[in-house]
Amino acid sequence: MSNSSSRTSSTVATALRVLGILSEHPEGIGVSEMSRQLGVGRSTAHMLLSTLLQQDFAFQDEESMYFLGLRAFEVGAAVPDVARFGGALLGPMRSLADLSGEAVSLAIPRNRDAIIVQRFETRHVLRMDIRVGTRMPLISCASGKVLLASMTEAEVDNLYPEEDLPEVTSLSVRSKTVLKSRILPEVRRQGYAVTEGEYAEGIDGVAAGITGSNGSLVAALSVAGPSSRFVIDQWVEPVLTAATAMTHLLSRNSG
């Protein structure tokens, strides 16, 4: 009985590792690379992926690349709002990443944080460890400001009952009054948000919102890079264009 339990636990653990690896490769991953990362034979990796494919925890494109499937998002209580982010919806993100050469992320709100649910890495060295699952304070990142700007005043007050806001870096906003009276109105007026060293000093970014079929904001798309080479004004329009494309795709897929 103990041996059977051990084998079952090992199988489940390996399947969960496959899901984890898929989540770290929004651009897709092949059987050989999955085999290498798992440290198992190619046939074993193929069997695991095929099983996940049959259960809709993974999907495969025409180039035989595997992606995290919709079922994986559906059972993830932490990310219910992004169950439909995948497949064709990743196209605008990939295009923005290719165009900029910088890190492109998709985030959703959870309490006081923006959680990264999809990400394309920069072609350059970035002195930050950000990946799928990373939580970033809403008040300190461009995506977080976009998400906060979609909330009502009461919702913002509920998140931040005190006037003093938590310090993230020396450049992060520390006053709720400033956040509500200046920063969030500006985001609403512009349709995008920026961050300049507020999450990590020396890192700047731009973000725009993605709207669901019901007209409410469901996620924020961002691009970020070192301030030494990242020109914020240069990437406002590309981010807005990509976010609009994802909004249209999301609406079309919901119809």
Written as one letter, the residue type at 235 is W
Q: Which residues contact 239 (CB under 8 A, 6 or more apart)?
A: 96, 192, 206, 207, 208, 221, 222, 223
| 109 strand-pairing partners | 114
Q: For the segment 61-76, what is each residue's pLDDT rounded down to a tens digit?
A: 888 999 988 777 666 5
Q: Where are the alpha helices (DSSP H) in 39-193?
A: 42-54, 70-74, 90-100, 142-149, 153-159, 176-178, 184-190
CATH domain 2-74 topology:
Arc Repressor Mutant, subunit A (1.10.10)
Please state at what angle helix 42-54 crosses helix 2-23, rounded to 10 degrees. 80
Q: Where are the alpha helices (DSSP H) in 86-133?
A: 90-100
Give the start-to-end residue ranges of the domains of the chain.
2-74, 80-254
Q: Is 125 helix (H, G, I), strand (E, B) or coil?
A: coil
The answer to whether 82 and 218 are in contact (CB under 8 A) is: yes
Q: For the segment 75-98, what is each residue's pLDDT rounded down to a tens digit?
A: 654 444 444 566 667 889 999 999
Q: For the segment 111-166, what is each residue's pLDDT rounded down to a tens digit?
A: 899 988 888 887 665 556 678 888 899 999 999 999 999 999 999 999 999 999 99
Same topology between domain 2-74 and domain 80-254: no
Tokens (6 digits) for 72: 């994986």
Cα–Cα distance for residue pair 247/255, rounded to 1 Å? 12
**Residue given tokens 């009276």 in the structure block:** 181
Cα–Cα distance for residue pair 125/102, rounded to 1 Å? 10
Q: Burial of 109 by CB count in 10 Å (0-12 exposed, 13-18 middle, 19+ buried)?
A: buried
Cα–Cα distance for residue pair 200/128, rounded to 1 Å? 8
Q: Where are the alpha helices (DSSP H) in the chain?
A: 2-23, 31-38, 42-54, 70-74, 90-100, 142-149, 153-159, 176-178, 184-190, 232-254
Check whether 184 has a pLDDT greater than 70. yes
Q: For the segment 3-32, what is each residue's pLDDT rounded down to a tens digit?
A: 444 444 577 888 888 998 998 888 889 999
CATH domain 80-254 topology:
Beta-Lactamase (3.30.450)
